[in-house]
């Protein structure tokens, strides 16, 4: 966005437009704001929109210095957006178009060829509307003219909604099976019916593409923790999947997908012992099959979750037939959950074994229940006292409270007169506080 003769007004409206567009975007969408005058600067570098509070905070200090070099700003926007992985890449240019002459046609055509569309918003009575319209045309976007600058935020929201609708591809398309194994085993490509639409997406970096519609992903799978996730970008209702749900192979396809996402458990008989070894804990696990045979050569690992919900992963080593050992150091006192799982083959989800709890007790010094007689004896000796024998405790107390000859002739209790004096003073204070007083007017 740029600013011309009405700098501050246009800039404030541009800020409001960016905030309004972010409010209707999906939290997982990415956005950025490139401000430019004579130079360009990423006022908001690309990141996920989230809840959007950070946008207004970062835009608050944005100021305009005058001048407009639109071409350099668009080159920078093209450089950054081209590296992003997204289903839709779109640029909205807000400017008066009063800039130095440059080869905008070649730049914008190249952007459109690489899937980056460009829309423009002309603002100002002296705006170069023709240049802005040509940029939008070559960029396969839409051109707007804001005769009233107050309409700029509404234009941005309208453009954002239109771009969001481009995510819906509504046309007949026959899916293609990319990976005919796993959940798609036994599904014939020739028997697949057509779909009437799907949502345009892009696969995650580690996702496995199972089916596609044209060149876009239709069915993908990826691992999440110890589980498996499947995403189907069409629907199973009458809008897009009417022919799909009526397909004879639909029950087989749906049931195989469901079974592939179900949690697979390694059926074993297990015994786990926790053995304290200095500050660490040694975990010893014995695994046998249902038939009583040792389970050997497993790539056993464990996720240890602490009370504060942080986790660490440890590798277990086989030390004997069916026996695996690992170590971890408790991060704090409380219950730690140790989830054991066996790594599968490449591309397969791990097989959970079991989750067992371990309670990290208090430190050792709090568990020493025996008295420290040596320390108590030293304290008594240094202070002129003595150690009382627990076996003759009564005799020791009598000796302790018996006056020592030559130091005093008798013992006398003095607690009751002191307690009586304290009670008297307390009652006197209550009486004085509640005693009525006369007020004298002057």
Among 292, 337, 280, 274, smallest CA distance to 311 is for: 337
Q: How many alpha carbons lie under 13 Å from residue 319 in its C-beta half-sphere?
A: 11
Residues 158 and 210 in one domain: no
* Residue corresponding to tokens 């975007």: 25
Q: Is residue 252 domain-shared with residue 283, that is, in the same domain?
A: no
| CB-neighbour burial class of residue 102 (10 A; exposed 0-12, middle 13-18, buried 19+) | middle
Q: What is the pLDDT of residue 326?
A: 92
- In whole angstroms, what is the distance from residue 245 CA to residue 250 CA? 6
One domain, residues 215 and 293:
no
Q: What count of other Cβ atoms lies within 10 Å of the Cβ of residue 243?
A: 15
Nearby residues of 344 by Cβ (< 8 Å), 6 or more positions away: 350, 351
In a domain, residue 401? The reply is: no
Dihedrals φ, ψ of 184, to 5°?
Answer: -105, 15
Residue in 86, 159, 99 with CA at minimum distance from that of residue 134: 99
User: Are 69 and 103 a contacting pair, CB within 8 Å?
Assistant: no
Q: What is the pLDDT of residue 332?
A: 83
Which of 202, 235, 261 lies at the terminal end of a domain, its last residue?
261
For 355-410, how does the pLDDT look when each residue is reduced to its tens digit (9 = 90+)? 888 888 776 666 666 778 888 888 888 887 888 877 787 887 787 777 666 665 56
Q: Mark which of 364, 389, 420 sits at the end of a domain.
A: 364
Asked if 15 and 94 sit in the same domain, the reply is yes
Predicted confidence at residue 5, as pLDDT, reads 39
Q: Is the pTM of this model over 0.75?
A: no
Domain co-membership, 152 together with 187: no
Same-domain check for residues 103 and 161:
yes
Q: How far apart are CA 76 and CA 83, in angstroms?
A: 12
Q: Are residues 66 and 205 in the same domain?
A: no
Q: Which residues of the chain have a pLDDT value below 50?
A: 1-8, 441-442
Residues 256 and 299 placed together within one structural domain of the fold: no
Residues 51 and 191 both lie in one domain: no
Q: Does 160 share its domain with 184?
A: no
Residue 119, judged by CB atoms within 10 A of its CB (0-12, 13-18, 19+), counts as buried
Say how many C-beta atoms besides its own lie within 10 A of residue 237's C-beta. 10
Whether the Cβ atoms of residue 121 and residue 93 lie closer than 8 Å to each other: yes
Q: CA 22 to CA 157: how far, in whole Å?
A: 8
Domain that holds residue 278: 269-364
Does the residue 434 lie in any domain? Answer: no
Are residues 129 and 17 part of one domain? Answer: yes
CATH code (residue 149): 3.40.50.410
Same domain, 151 and 18: yes
Whether 126 maps to a domain, the answer reads yes
Q: What is the pLDDT of residue 348?
A: 65
- The CATH number of the domain where 357 resides is what? 2.60.40.1930
Residue 264: the pLDDT is: 64
Local structure of residue 149 (DSSP, 8 states): G
Structure tokens at 373: 């007689």
Q: Would 369 be classed as within a structural domain?
A: no
Please check whether residue 393 lies inside any domain of the structure: no
């Amino acid at each position: 966005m740029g600013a011309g003769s009405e700098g501050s007004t246009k800039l404030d409206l541009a800020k409001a437009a960016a905030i309004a567009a972010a409010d209707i975007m999906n939290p997982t969408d990415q956005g950025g704001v490139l401000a430019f005058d004579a130079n360009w600067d990423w006022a908001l570098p690309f990141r996920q929109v989230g809840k959007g509070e950070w946008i207004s905070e970062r835009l608050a200090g944005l100021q305009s210095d005058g001048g407009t070099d639109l071409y350099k700003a668009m080159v920078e926007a093209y450089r950054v957006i081209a590296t992003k992985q997204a289903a839709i890449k779109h640029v909205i240019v807000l400017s008066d178009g009063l800039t130095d002459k440059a080869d905008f046609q070649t730049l914008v055509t190249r952007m459109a060829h690489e899937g980056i569309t460009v829309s423009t918003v002309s603002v100002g009575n002296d705006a170069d509307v023709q240049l802005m319209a040509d940029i939008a045309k070559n960029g396969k976007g839409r051109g707007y003219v804001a005769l009233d600058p107050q309409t700029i935020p509404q234009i941005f929201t309208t453009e954002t909604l239109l771009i969001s609708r481009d995510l819906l591809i509504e046309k007949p398309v026959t899916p293609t099976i990319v990976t005919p194994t796993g959940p798609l085993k036994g599904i014939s490509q020739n028997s697949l019916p057509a779909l009437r639409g799907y949502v345009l997406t892009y696969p995650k970096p580690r996702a496995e593409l199972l089916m596609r519609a044209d060149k876009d992903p239709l069915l993908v799978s990826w691992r999440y923790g110890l589980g498996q996730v499947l995403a189907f970008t069409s629907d199973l209702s009458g809008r897009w999947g009417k022919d799909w749900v009526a397909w004879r192979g639909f029950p087989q396809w749906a049931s195989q997908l469901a079974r592939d996402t179900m949690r697979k458990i390694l059926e074993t008989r297990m015994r786990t012992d926790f053995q304290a070894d200095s500050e660490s804990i040694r975990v010893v696990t014995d695994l046998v099959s249902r038939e009583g045979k040792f389970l050997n050569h497993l790539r056993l690992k464990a996720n240890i979750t602490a009370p504060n919900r942080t986790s660490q992963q440890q590798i277990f080593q086989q030390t004997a037939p069916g026996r695996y050992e690992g170590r971890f150091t408790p991060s704090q006192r409380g219950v730690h959950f140790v989830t054991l799982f066996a790594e599968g083959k490449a591309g397969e989800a791990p097989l959970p074994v079991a989750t067992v709890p371990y309670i990290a007790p208090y430190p050792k010094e709090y568990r020493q229940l025996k008295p420290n007689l040596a320390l108590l004896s030293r304290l008594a000796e240094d202070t002129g006292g003595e150690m009382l024998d627990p076996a003759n405790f009564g005799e020791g107390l009598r000796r302790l409270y018996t006056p020592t000859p030559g130091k005093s002739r008798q013992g006398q209790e003095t607690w009751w007169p002191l307690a009586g004096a304290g009670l008297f003073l307390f009652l006197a204070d209550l009486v004085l506080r509640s005693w009525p007083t006369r007020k004298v007017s002057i």
